[in-house]
Structure 1
Amino acid sequence: MLLNKILNQTAPAQVMGILNVTPDSFSDGGKYTQTDKAISQVAMMIEQGATIIDIGGESTRPGAAEVSENDELSRVIPLVKLIKAHFDVLISVDTSKAEVMAEAINSGADIINDVRALQNDNCLEVIAKSNVPVCLMHMQGLPRTMQNNPQYENLIDDIMLFFQQRINVCQQAGIAKERIIIDPGFGFGKTLKQNYQLLAHLSQFKSLGLPILSGTSRKSMIGNLLNRDVEQRLAGSLTTAIIAAQQGANIIRVHDVAETVDAMKVLLALEQNV
């Protein structure tokens, strides 16, 4: 089973296709709010090689407004059910709300992807009662304020300590370590320099013995470095994806699935022939 291989870190880096069903996401806000367009996008990403679809009903871009629980449920849950009924693909739900997590799991979600690392009310309990894996992301601050002068004593050490603490909290709540994935949170409370420092030292997080998810696709760390608008960031996205995979990332979360799958195939061929 692919999910077990990902958790055991025995599969090649997998490509996770992003499906934002929000009106205000930084790259594709409003494109997939209609069900037929969302399903068409899922079908295309699967055909292009995505093995995981990550569904998000609330934008987490800098300055993003919060979304009500009911709105998020109405955006996400029907899609989870439709995708589960019609496609053979792993479904990840990107949420920080306990009720959305619970409903998503009941509807067939395979992974919960939480940018707040299960720190919101009742989230630990919901995941502990389930058997699904959870991705814990590091973020300094909150989406509205996270890019307002983020500071660290030591970037890598501080993020490592955060993960160690959250892993301990999860285990104490009854969530086995074997169910945890970590995401260092590129762009979430990090300066441009800090993002590239994090990318350069991503392999250090392998010491935690957990799968790593990397999400740099089309982000401002690329746009600000290259002075490129969102739709002009493919080259930068692919470069950071390749570097992340070389550093040991197990899941690459992207908007541009076909191109990233090609890049991962080239990297895999290189690794198998060295």
Structure 2
Amino acid sequence: MSGEKLPLGTISPVRRIGQREFDFERQVAIMAIVNRTPNSFHDQGSTFALDNAVAAAKKAVDDGADWVDIGGFAFSAAQAPIDAAEEIDRVAPVIARVRAATDAVISVDTHRPEVARAAIEAGADVINDTNGLREPGMAEAAAELGATVVVTHSLGGPGRRVFRPSYSDVVTEVAAFLRERVAYALDAGIAPDRIIIDPGHDLNKNTFHSLELTRRLEEITAIGYPTLVALSNKDFIGETLDRPQTERKEGTIAVNVVSILKGARILRVHDVAATVASVRMTEAVLGWRGPLAPSHNLA
């Protein structure tokens, strides 16, 4: 099918991640969030129970998710610390059961190399690291395992409080961080076609920072690696629209579509069904796919 392609210059745009293949020049992957934590900011622990987490992951795939992101430790500093063994106990059983039920991509949201190893052994395909591979041994573990990695920007990393984060130019500084961490990943032996980047909206950033990152997202996608954005129901949407957690779906859809137009190719979301519809419509307008049920009546 013919259609305009955005000038991304993506490194290895056609990728096999786990058992699925993606063409990031003309396709958007939808990543569903499943947090096995008692304190996740959106679901408030509703998927902390093992059976609930597994059921949520299966439903997300049934709703059209290409990818499930499973986490056992929230990013927020407002939580009690847990050790790696407890984090493994939270994520590994979910990953194993979801892996047995689907060929969808599975990622583990962790910054600890020992958790990453256990997750990959349980069946995960991707390490989603909101600490930007800064934990000693993480990059080396990813390289050894042959896993895809998501390299995310944050100032402090998971569980670390950063008061009043400030930037001279948030987009320039985030881009510089991502370039440096990608170089680190490559030096550690992670293959270029195994690297994804994430500017980390709202991670040690205020509403104005996250809006600016979205406005100038082309400067992040220009780094050349497929870009993931995790915008779903975040506080910058709530503050912009003056909406509580439960009323941010429309704002989330809007910033996700804007991000696609600016080069994002992976969306990390809570509301899978609504995201699938908005993404498929966006892809069709861009000429990347045809209508699912076109009418042949030309009268």
Indicate how the Cα distance of structure 1 residues 94 and 143 shifts in structure 2: closer, same or farther if over 3 A, else same. Answer: closer
| 1:209 counterpart = 2:207 | no
Identical residues among aligned pairs (%) = 32
Give the alignment's TM-score, normalised by structure 2: 0.87
Query: Quick check: 1:147–1:188 contact (8 Å CA) kept in 2?
Result: no
Matches within 5 A, 1:123-272: 123-144=138-159, 146=161, 148-272=163-287
Query: Quick check: 1:215–1:253 contact (8 Å CA) kept in 2?
Result: yes
Alpha-carbon distance between aligned partners in 2 of 1:174 and 1:111, rounded to the nearest angstrom:
16
Query: Quick check: 1:2–1:11 contact (8 Å CA) kept in 2?
Result: no
Task: Report how far residue 153 of structure 1 moved.
Answer: 2.0
Matches within 5 A, 1:95-106: 95-106=110-121
Q: Which amino acid aligns with 1:262?
A: A
Aligned length: 273
Give the alignment's TM-score, normalised by structure 1: 0.94
Alpha-carbon distance between aligned partners in 1 of 2:159 and 2:122, rounded to the nearest angstrom:
30
Question: Which SS does the other structure have where 2:147 is aligned?
Answer: coil
Alpha-carbon distance between aligned partners in 1 of 2:200 and 2:133, rounded to the nearest angstrom:
14
Alpha-carbon distance between aligned partners in 2 of 1:183 and 1:146, rounded to the nearest angstrom:
20
Deviating runs (4+, > 2 A) in structure 1?
1-6, 8-11, 61-67, 141-147
Alpha-carbon distance between aligned partners in 1 of 2:288 and 2:151, rounded to the nearest angstrom:
33
| 1:88 counterpart = 2:108 | no
Question: Which SS does the other structure have where 1:128 is aligned?
Answer: helix
| 1:20 counterpart = 2:35 | yes
Task: Report how far residue 141 of structure 1 moved.
Answer: 2.2
Alpha-carbon distance between aligned partners in 1 of 2:41 and 2:190, rounded to the nearest angstrom:
32
> Given the alignment, which residue of 58, 65, 73 partners 2:73?
58
> Gapped runs of 5+ residues in structure 1?
none
Query: Quick check: 1:139–1:146 contact (8 Å CA) kept in 2?
Result: no
Q: Which moved more, 1:209-218 or 1:81-90?
A: 81-90
Q: Which amino acid aligns with 1:151?
A: S
Alpha-carbon distance between aligned partners in 1 of 2:51 and 2:206, rounded to the nearest angstrom:
38
Look at both structures and tell me which one has the larger radius of gyration over its CA atoms. Answer: 2
Aligned to 2:56: 41
Task: Report how far residue 147 of structure 1 moved.
Answer: 5.1
Name the one with the larger helix percent. 1
Alpha-carbon distance between aligned partners in 1 of 2:81 and 2:54, rounded to the nearest angstrom:
25
> Gapped runs of 5+ residues in structure 2?
1-14, 290-299
Alpha-carbon distance between aligned partners in 2 of 1:197 and 1:50, rounded to the nearest angstrom:
28
Aligned to 2:24: 9
Deviations 1:168-192 (A, max 9, x none): 1111111122211000000011121
Query: Quick check: 1:147–1:191 contact (8 Å CA) kept in 2?
Result: no
| 1:78 counterpart = 2:93 | yes
Task: Report how far residue 2 of structure 1 moved.
Answer: 5.1
